């Protein structure tokens, strides 16, 4: 210990001394700046403009004179590996040296950084990052490569056709001349941008398909990675919000006397979603919030309980819903069937519970509004904030930082926590940066849940045991109702996110009918990793298993025959079954279950092996087969299969958010349980080789595990569990 | 090690990553928030505030503690190690293994995971699966990177046992 080196920090001297003593760290979190990059002033937040001498042929990359290639990611890195995947696409066609690639988050600018699958919208979700960028970013890299080649040919006075590029080196083999990208950057920047470029054939890939290292590992291992929670700006204030105890409740009156007496507390401000306490630091804000005395107007409180809601949903499921899809006449066939099966499945509300609770940094001044956030939906948030502040959307400048998980929570059409932070920031002196942080309890209780759903299914078999009719009614809140997406994504009263995975059931059934009830409740709901498939895969893959059992057939063989015309479903099913030794004997109390499901254009099959002992379900091993088209990075795909399955396993076995007379029962990880290391099964991942365009990997493993485990529990015990989280009778 | 008798306005002397800090802060403030908001060490994360998830794990005189429920007064006169200062043989081995096995996803919990893992290996260089479960089941990871965490601990342990870390 170096005792001569004493740092003195006091509350009173906090602002100045903290800035001096941790200047290096402060620099490190300036907006848009990541390790290895030059710092830029906050005024240039998110700027990706090329500096002098840099080569920046398009919006997606720049090369500096040291040869460092910065890839601009239009998508949020929230753990799914997108910074690495997107950079791989650019580097592949650029023939860059992977060691000289860096990634920076793009600013909010949908004119350049829109998600090509979302039209004019910029944002990350639906496992689309790689899929929508596959051609765009390879082309961006190929354009840059071509301009470097043209520059080299001009410099060396040789034909372009004789210039080659490999691993970041441009060379002319006949003359032995070579140059790094940095040496050619300035000259390349002056070349015409080619209108057409040739992309590589897959055989020529050197990075795509390889287990190349993640871009974000080092800084997430040494603690320097910058999340929203880590942002520190000069003069920044901290805020916490006291939310109403139930949905539909507003503030009646506030007594802030005691709160304002807490040292470090600056002010208390009522905002539409509650009462905010602004202070010099988090802890003062926390003590201030604890000291608040608020009386609530509970006249409009939503005061129903989960159990009541489930009963109401069950009643609704007895009635005809909005028709989603109909073939043949399922009702009539079922009415006349000899072999009939009926079942009801249900899933609870779920919180996303990312490890980083919701947080946001906002600074408002004359020129507009700067936001620092693990930003998942730039365009929607820009519009929402601009509307609130009376700004143009482009005056809302968003710095996209790493998100400590999100699972959909940070892409909210209601922009809830951002607007909350903006409401607080605009009550402060102009230009004062404000960091709003939710506690874990806030994060659990402030809403935007995966909706509760109930599925009612009826099926009929023919004499050979094949499904002749399938009738399914889904009951649950629409995620998109009342959002700007409603106009586009809710058609004829059907929210596609409520029925995805059910409307496209892969099994050919001549008499098929799908109906939907979308009850409206004031419980705020949102997409949650794999969205509709979180419940449709559970209901559909359990019910087909029940039909197989009723038909007296093996669950894999049954599906295999029905999927004869679905080669990619069949491919993952066969691979998983083979690798899991489907059919091999297991011990007492053990069972194997299978499920196969397509979501976000990727196909996943899982075989779960469980042991049931003294009423407890242990998942011992899961074999996963995935077909996601061309595998960009097999290591990240494996990680997403493991992690996506693990996320789904939390919901299958442990997590449940319940309402008791409108109050959220759970508050923190003691009662909102998520998977722990000792509960993580062994996992084997197999990737189907494919030349198809790449599709998503962040979500498709999540919905498959609950039905696989439920089916395995049936195999082990003979009990059909139809409610999540699974609990033995 | 010596402890201070705390009085109103008394400065707290705390050694953090080998450097002595004099903190004029509320003695009840959790160490986590002093580290994050006042010392400027943000590698240690807030996630639950109730010692339920392990994201805020630091060492107090070498032993892992949850800094979100450790009042500053407890840390007075003692030595704190955070992820930024983790430089033990076990710490280096864990960080190296984490890199090689690509453990991280969102990364938010990983400072805490690494601190807990290195503390385990410090006590027990070749832990069994049961040892790993016992030492790590309080460190939550919503991305479920658990398989690689386990593999990383074992790899680091083998390196430490072989003296190659």
Model confidence pLDDT, tens digit, residues A124-134: 999 999 999 99
Q: Tell me what pLDDT residue A404 has.
A: 98
Cβ of A79 and B84 within 8 Å? no
For the domain made up of A306-350+449-717, the CATH class stated in words is alpha beta
Cβ of A405 and B18 within 8 Å? no
> Of B100, B115, B91, which Cα lies nearest the Cα of B152?
B100
Rounded CA separation B120/B118 (Å): 5
* Contacts made by residues A39-42, CB under 8 angstroms, sequence distance 24+: A42/A233, A42/A363, A42/A370
Q: Is the peptide bond before A475 cis (omega within 30 degrees of 0)?
A: no
Partners of B119 in the beta sheet? none
Sheet holding B12-16, edge to edge: A2-10, B19-24, B12-16, B79-81, B57-60, B63-66
Taking CA atoms, B76 is separated from B16, B55, B71, B81, in Å, by: 11, 22, 9, 13
Cβ of A263 and B148 within 8 Å? no
Cβ of A645 and B144 within 8 Å? yes
> Of A95, A292, A351, which Cα lies nearest the Cα of A205?
A95
Are A313 and A519 within 8 A, CB to CB? Answer: yes
- Closest residue of chain A to B139, computed from CA coordinates: A676
Q: Six-digit token pair at A358?
A: 């919701």
A5, A220, A677: residue with CB nearest B107: A220
Which residues from chain B sit within 8 angstroms of residue A18, using beta carbons? 38, 40
| Res. B117: pLDDT tops 90 | yes
CA end-to-end span of chain A: 59
DSSP letter assigned to residue B39: I
Q: Tell me what pLDDT residue A660 has.
A: 98
User: Would you kindly state where each structural domain of chain B is located, as residue ranges?
Assistant: 12-85, 89-161
Partners of A363 in the beta sheet? A370
Which residues from chain B sit within 8 angstroms of residue A218, using beta carbons? 99
Residue B96, phi-psi category: left (phi > 0), alpha (psi -120 to 50), beta (remainder)? alpha
Are B54 and B46 within 8 A, CB to CB? Answer: no
Q: How confident is the model at residue B9 (pLDDT cuts 50, 70, 90)?
A: low
pLDDT tens digits, B148-163: 999 999 999 999 998 6
Residue keyed to tokens 């430089």 = B87
- Closest residue of chain A to B55, computed from CA coordinates: A355
Taking CA atoms, A684 is separated from A71, A573, A608, in Å, by: 32, 14, 11
Mean pLDDT of A552-556: 98
For CA atoms A187, A189, A194, A200, give the dihedral sign. Answer: positive
Cβ of A668 and B39 within 8 Å? no
Q: Tell me what pLDDT residue B17 has.
A: 98
For CA atoms A579, A585, A591, A595, give the dihedral sign. Answer: positive
| Res. A705: pLDDT tops 80 | yes
Q: Which residues contact B7 (CB under 8 A, 6 or more apart)?
A: none
pLDDT tens digits, A290-306: 999 999 999 999 999 99
Reported pTM: 0.93
pLDDT tens digits, A387-440: 999 999 999 999 999 999 999 999 999 999 999 999 999 999 999 999 999 999
Q: Which CATH superfamily is domain B12-85 in?
A: Beta-grasp domain (3.10.20.30)
Rounded CA separation A586/A595 (Å): 19
Rounded CA separation A23/A393 (Å): 32
3-state secondary structure A541-578: HHHHHHHHHHCCCCHHHHHHHHCCCCHHHHHHHHHHHH
Residue keyed to tokens 């995620």 = A479
Which residues from chain B sit within 8 angstroms of residue A227, using beta carbons? 45, 108
Q: Which residues contact A161 (CB under 8 A, 6 or more apart)?
A: none
CATH topology of domain B89-161: DNA polymerase; domain 1 (1.10.150)
Q: Six-digit token pair at A84?
A: 């690495």
> Of B120, B127, B6, which Cα lies nearest the Cα of B72?
B6
Q: What residue ranges of chain A are covered by domains with CATH 3.30.365.10?
A: 32-212, 228-299+358-437, 306-350+449-717
Are A546 and A341 within 8 A, CB to CB? Answer: yes
Q: In angstroms, what separates the C-alpha of A676 from chain B's closest C-alpha? A: 6
- The interface pTM score, or ipTM, of the predicted complex is 0.95
Which residues from chain B sit within 8 angstroms of residue A14, using beta carbons? 38
Cβ of B29 and A14 within 8 Å? no
CATH architecture, domain defined by A228-299+358-437: 2-Layer Sandwich (3.30)
Q: Tell me what pLDDT residue A27 has.
A: 24
Q: Six-digit token pair at B6?
A: 């705390």
| Res. A447: pLDDT tops 50 | yes
Mean pLDDT of chain A: 93
| Res. A557: pLDDT tops 60 | yes
- Alpha carbons within 13 A on the beta-carbon side of A109: 14
Q: Tell me what pLDDT residue A653 has.
A: 98
Q: Tell me what pLDDT residue A40 has.
A: 34
Q: How confident is the model at residue B1 (pLDDT cuts 50, 70, 90)?
A: very low
- Closest residue of chain B to A648, computed from CA coordinates: B144
Rounded CA separation A617/A656 (Å): 16
Cβ of A282 and B108 within 8 Å? no
Mean pLDDT of chain B: 93
Mean pLDDT of B105-124: 98
CATH architecture, domain defined by A32-212: 2-Layer Sandwich (3.30)
| Res. A659: pLDDT tops 80 | yes
| Residues above pLDDT 90, as percent of chain A | 92
Sheet holding A616-627, edge to edge: A590-599, A602-613, A616-627, A682-687
Q: Six-digit token pair at A174?
A: 């006949």
b/e A452-475 (16+ beta carbons within 10 angstroms → b): bbbbbbbbbbeeebbbbbbbbbbb
| Res. A34: pLDDT tops 60 | no
Cβ of A643 and B144 within 8 Å? yes
Please state at what angle helix B89-100 crosses helix B110-123, rounded to 10 degrees: 130
Partners of A322 in the beta sheet? A516
């Amino acid at each position: 210990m170096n005792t001569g080196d004493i740092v003195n920090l006091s509350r009173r001297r906090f602002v100045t001394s903290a800035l001096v003593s941790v200047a290096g760290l402060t620099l490190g979190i300036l907006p848009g700046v990541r390790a290895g990059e030059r710092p830029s002033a906050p005024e240039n937040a998110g700027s990706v403009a090329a500096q002098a001498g840099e080569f920046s042929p398009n919006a997606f990359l720049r090369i500096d004179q040291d040869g460092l290639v910065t890839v601009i990611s239009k998508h949020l890195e929230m753990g799914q590996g997108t910074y690495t995947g997107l950079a791989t696409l650019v580097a592949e066609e650029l023939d860059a040296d992977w060691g000289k690639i860096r990634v920076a988050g793009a600013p909010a600018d949908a004119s350049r950084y829109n998600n090509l699958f979302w039209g004019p919208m910029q944002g990350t979700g639906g496992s689309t990052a790689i899929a929508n960028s596959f051609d765009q970013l390879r082309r961006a890299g190929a354009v840059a490569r071509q301009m470097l080649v043209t520059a080299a040919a001009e410099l060396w006075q040789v034909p372009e056709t004789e210039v080659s590029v490999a691993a970041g080196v441009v060379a002319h083999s006949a003359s032995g001349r070579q140059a790094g990208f940095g040496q050619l950057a300035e000259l390349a920047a002056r070349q015409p941008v080619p209108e057409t470029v040739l992309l590589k054939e897959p055989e020529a890939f050197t990075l795509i398909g390889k287990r190349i290292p993640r871009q974000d590992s080092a800084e997430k291992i040494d603690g320097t990675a910058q999340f929203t929670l880590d942002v520190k700006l000069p003069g920044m204030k901290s805020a916490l919000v006291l939310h109403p105890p139930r949905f539909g409740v507003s503030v009646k009156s506030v007594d802030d006397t005691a709160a304002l007496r807490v040292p470090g507390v600056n002010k208390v401000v009522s905002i539409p979603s509650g009462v905010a306490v602004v202070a010099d630091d988090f802890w003062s804000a926390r003590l201030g919030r604890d000291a608040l005395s608020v009386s609530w107007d509970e006249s409009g409180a939503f005061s129903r309980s989960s159990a009541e809601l489930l009963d109401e949903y069950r009643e609704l499921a007895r009635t005809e819903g909005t028709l989603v899809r109909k073939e043949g006449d399922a009702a009539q066939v079922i009415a006349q069937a000899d072999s009939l099966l009926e079942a009801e499945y249900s899933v609870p509300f779920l919180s996303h519970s990312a490890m980083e609770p919701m947080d946001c940094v906002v600074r408002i001044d004359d020129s507009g509004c700067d936001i620092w956030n693990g930003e998942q939906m730039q365009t929607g948030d820009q519009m929402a904030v601009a509307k609130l502040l009376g700004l143009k959307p482009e005056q809302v400048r968003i710095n996209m930082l790493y998100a400590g998980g999100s699972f959909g929570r940070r892409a909210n059409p209601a922009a809830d926590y951002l607007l909350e932070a903006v409401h607080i920031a605009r009550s402060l002196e102009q230009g004062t940066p404000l960091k709003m942080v939710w506690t874990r309890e806030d994060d659990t209780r402030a809403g935007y849940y995966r909706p509760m759903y109930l599925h009612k299914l009826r099926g009929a078999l023919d004499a050979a045991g094949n499904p002749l009719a399938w009738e399914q009614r889904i009951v649950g809140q629409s995620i998109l109702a009342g959002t700007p997406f409603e106009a586009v994504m809710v058609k004829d009263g059907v929210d596609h996110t409520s029925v995805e995975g059910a409307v496209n059931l892969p099994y050919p059934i001549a008499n098929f009918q799908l109906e939907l009830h979308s009850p409206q409740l004031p419980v705020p709901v949102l997409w949650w990793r794999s969205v509709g498939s979180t419940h449709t895969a559970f209901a559909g893959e359990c019910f087909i298993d029940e039909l197989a059992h009723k038909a007296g057939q093996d669950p894999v063989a049954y599906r295999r025959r029905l999927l004869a015309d679905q080669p990619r479903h069949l491919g993952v099913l066969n691979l998983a079954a083979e690798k899991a030794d489907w059919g091999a004997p297991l011990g007492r109390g053990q069972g194997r279950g299978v499920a196969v499901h397509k979501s976000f254009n990727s196909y996943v099959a899982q075989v779960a092996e469980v042991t049931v002992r003294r009423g407890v379900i242990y998942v011992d091993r899961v074999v996963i087969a995935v077909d996601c088209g061309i595998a960009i990075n097999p290591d990240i795909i494996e990680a997403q299969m493991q992690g996506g399955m693990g996320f789904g396993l939390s919901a299958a076995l442990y997590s449940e958010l319940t309402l008791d007379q409108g109050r959220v029962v759970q508050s923190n990880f003691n009662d909102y349980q998520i998977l722990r290391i000792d509960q993580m099964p062994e996992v084997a991942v197999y990737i189907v080789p494919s030349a198809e365009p790449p599709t998503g990997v962040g979500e498709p493993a999540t919905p498959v595990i609950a039905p696989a485990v439920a089916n395995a529990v049936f195999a082990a015990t003979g009990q059909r569990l139809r409610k999540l989280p699974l609990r033995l009778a | 090690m010596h402890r201070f008798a705390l009085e109103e306005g008394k400065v707290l002397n705390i050694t953090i990553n080998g450097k002595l800090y004099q903190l004029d802060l509320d003695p009840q403030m959790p160490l986590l928030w002093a580290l994050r908001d006042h010392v400027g060490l943000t590698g240690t994360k807030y996630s639950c505030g109730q010692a339920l998830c392990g994201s805020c794990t630091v060492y107090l005189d070498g032993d892992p503690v949850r800094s979100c429920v450790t009042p500053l007064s407890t840390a007075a006169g003692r030595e704190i190690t955070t992820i930024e200062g983790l430089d033990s043989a076990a710490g280096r081995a864990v960080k190296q293994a984490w890199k090689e096995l690509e453990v991280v996803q969102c990364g938010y919990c990983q400072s805490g995971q690494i601190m807990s893992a290195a503390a385990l290996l410090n006590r027990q260089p070749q832990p069994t699966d049961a040892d790993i479960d016992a030492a790590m089941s309080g460190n939550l990871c919503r991305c479920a990177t658990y398989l690689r965490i386990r593999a990383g601990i074992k790899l680091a342990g083998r390196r430490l046992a072989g003296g190659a870390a």
